Amino acid sequence: MAEALDLKAIGTRPIRPDGVDKVTGRANFGADMALPGMIHAKVLRSPYAHARIKSIDLSKALELDGVFAAICGRDLPQEGANDLSINILAREKALYHGHAVAAVAASSAALADRALDLIEVDYEELDPVLTIDDAIANGATLVNENMYTNGDRSQPPSNVAAQQKFERGDVDKGFSEADVVVEEEYRVPTAHQGYIEPHACIADINEAGRATVWCCTQGQFDVRSMTAGVLNKKVSDIKVIPSEIGGGFGGKTTIYLEPVAVKLSEMSGRPVKMVMNREEVFRATGPTSATLCRIKVGAKRDGTITAATAWLAYEAGAFPGAPVGPGCMSVLAPYNLENLRIEGLDVLVNKPKVAA
Amino acid sequence: MKKVHVSTTVNGQPEEALCEVHQSLLDLLRDELGLTGTKEGCGTGDCGACTVLLDGRLVCSCLVLGVEAEGKEVTTIEGIADPDRLHVVQQKFLEHAALQCGICTPGFIVAAKALLDKNPDPDETTIRYWLAGNLCRCTGYDKIVRAVQDAAQELAQSS
Ligand code: FES
Ligand code: FES
C-alpha cells in the first residue's frame, strides 16, 4: 500500500531536526541565555494563602550594595490592570501562598535573594478559601469581594465566577422511566504539570522603550501581547524570542516573569534575567483544576440511558478561568441522550490561577 | 562576598574559575564556565537534569559545591561526543526518539554512558534502576530504556 501511494513520510523514522543539539547540550533553553552586563532578579512571594497587603517598604532592599532596582504592584500600570497584571504582582491582597508581592534586581541572583529578606511587607492575614466546598458554602470568605457570578450584580458577590447550563429534554421524566439510577461524587485534586524546566526569561529594553524578551514559552506572540498589555505598551514595542522549551503541557501558555523583567530592565538600564526555582514553579505557576463532580445516570435494564445530569465545579485558582466549559461539553458527549442537564461552575479559591 | 579560586578539569581541559562559596558545581559549570548543557530542574537532587561525572562518579551537580571541584575531573554532556562523531548513546537516543523537549536529555545521556562504561551488558531492570534518579516528563521512559539497550548491543558488536 505504501508503495502504491508513494508515501514519503509515513513508514519512515526521521530523526528530529532539533535532536543533535539536544543530545549534545547545545540546545539553549530558557535559563541558558546570558547577555553582557546582565543582572538577576528574584521575586518575593506571599507566605500567606490569603492576606491583605497593608504596606510594602522596598527602601532597605534598595540600600543594599549591588541592588539595582526593586518593584512591587504599585509600580506596574494601574489603569486597566487586568487579572494577569494582578497575578504577576499582587495589589491589595495576596491571593495565594506564593503570590508575587515584590521583585528585586541585583548583580547576582544570590544577592537579589538576600535583598528580598530586607523588603518589609505588612500583611493582615485573612481566612483562606482552599476547597470548592468552602468556596461555595453560604457565607464563604470571598477571594475577590468584587466577583459576581456571571457579572450579575443583582446578586451578592460570590466565589463562583461563572455558571453555565446545558439542558435537553425532561430529566425528571427520564429518571422516572429508569430501572436503575446511579449517583456518584468524584473529587480530583490539583495536579501540577511538572515540566522539568522552570520558567525563565531575560528582558532588555532600550532608551527608546523597545524591549526584547527571550523566554521559554508555548507561544511567543501571546507573551508579546500579554507583556504589552500588562505594561501598557504597544505590541510593536516588544519583541519576543522563544528559546527551546523544557516542557510546558499548557503551563507555559501564560506569563509570570516577563513584565517584571522588562520593568526592572527599564529602571536599571541593564538586561535582567529571571529564573524560577522548583519551589516557585510549584507555588506560583499554573496547575490544573481540582474538581468536584456529581454525576447521575438513569438507565433501563437493557442499558438504554434514559436521563443523565452532571454538576461540575472546577477550581480556577485566585482568578476566574477554569476550563469547566470544555468539561461541560465533553462530560456526556459520548452518549446519545434525550434527557440531560449539565451545570458547570468556575470557582475561585486561594490557589495559583490554573493554566491548561 | 569573597570569591574562591577553583582549578579543575572539565571534559579533559584544565579550567580556572572564581566561585562564591555557596555556588554549586552546577552554577560553576553554567554561570562561570558557560557550559549550559547541564540543566537545573529542581536544585534539590530530585530530577537528575544536572547529572555530571566527578572523578568518574555520577553526581547531581546541584548538590555538589563548586569549590569541591578543586583538583577533580568533571565530565559534562559537552564532553560526551567526539568532535566528528556522536557517542553511540547519543546516536541511539536520536534513533529511538528517546527525547522530546530535551531538558532531561543531557542528564540521561551522561548517566547512561556511565552505566555502559561500568556494565556493558545491563539488563532492562538494571537500566531502569540506574536511571531511576533521572526524571523525564515527556517520553514515558520506555524509548530511553530501549535506546540504552540498543547502545549496549551496538557497543558489544563493535568491540
Ligand atoms: S537539578 Fe540537580 S537533581 Fe534536579
Ligand atoms: S524529554 Fe522532556 S523531560 Fe524528558
Per-residue confidence (pLDDT) for residue A241, from 0 to 100: 98
- Can you name the CATH fold of B4-79? Ubiquitin-like (UB roll) (3.10.20)
Residues of chain A with pLDDT under 50: 1
Are residues A213 and A255 both part of a single domain?
A: yes
Q: Smallest CA–CA separation between B137 and chain A, in Å?
A: 6
Q: B102 — alpha (psi -120 to 50), left (phi > 0) or beta?
A: left
Per-residue confidence (pLDDT) for residue A308, from 0 to 100: 98
Are residues A93 and A199 both part of a single domain?
A: yes
Domain with CATH 1.10.150.120 in chain B: 88-158
- Asked whether the CA dihedral B62, B64, B70, B73 is positive or negative, the reply is negative
CATH number at residue A78: 3.90.1170.50
Q: Smallest CA–CA separation between B90 and chain A, in Å?
A: 6
Q: Which listed CATH number (1.10.150.530, 2.40.50.100, 2.40.10.120, 1.10.150.120) goes with B88-158?
A: 1.10.150.120
Are residues A214 and A293 both part of a single domain?
A: no
ipTM > 0.95, yes or no: yes
Q: Smallest CA–CA separation between B99 and chain A, in Å?
A: 8
Of A228, A250, A284, which residue sits at a domain end? Answer: A284
Per-residue confidence (pLDDT) for residue A70, from 0 to 100: 98
d(CA A273, CA A31) in angstroms, rounded, equals 8
Of A238, A262, A284, which residue sits at a domain end? Answer: A284
pLDDT tens by residue, A26-57: 999 999 999 999 999 999 999 999 999 999 99
Per-residue confidence (pLDDT) for residue A205, from 0 to 100: 98
Q: Which of A247, A279, A244, A248 is nearest to A352 (CA)?
A: A279
When divided into structural domains, chain A yields a total of: 2
| Residue owning the nearest CA to atom 3 of ligand 1 | B45
d(CA A331, CA A342) in angstroms, rounded, equals 8
Are residues A51 and A186 both part of a single domain?
A: no
Residue A115 dihedral angles phi and psi, to the nearest 5°: -65, -30
Are residues A90 and A229 both part of a single domain?
A: yes
Per-residue confidence (pLDDT) for residue B2, from 0 to 100: 85
Within 13 Å of residue B151, how many CA atoms lie on the same side as its CB? 30
Are residues A209 and A338 both part of a single domain?
A: no
Do residues B118 and B129 touch, judged by C-beta distance below 8 A? no
Q: From ligand 1's centre to the CA of A296, what distance in Å?
A: 46
Q: Which of B40, B49, B51 is nearest to B135 (CA)?
A: B49
Q: Which of B37, B41, B78 sits opposite A196 (nearest CB)?
A: B41
Q: Which residue of A has its CA nearest to B102?
A: A22
Do residues A246 and B101 touch, judged by C-beta distance below 8 A? yes
**CB atoms near residue A130 (< 10 Å):** 17
**CB atoms near residue A4 (< 10 Å):** 6
Task: Please state the pTM of the whole predicted model.
Answer: 0.95
Per-residue confidence (pLDDT) for residue B51, from 0 to 100: 98
Per-residue confidence (pLDDT) for residue A276, from 0 to 100: 98
Q: From ligand 2's centre to the CA of B107, what distance in Å?
A: 10
Tens of pLDDT along chain B (159 residues) come to 689 999 999 999 999 999 999 999 999 999 999 999 999 999 999 999 999 999 999 999 999 999 999 999 999 999 999 999 999 999 999 999 999 999 999 999 999 999 999 999 999 999 999 999 999 999 999 999 999 999 999 999 987
CB atoms A26 and B37 under 8 Å: yes
Domain residues for the domain of A317 are 132-191+287-348
Q: From ligand 2's centre to the CA of B42, what distance in Å?
A: 14
Counting atoms of ligand 1 from 1, which one is nearest the CA of B50? Answer: 2
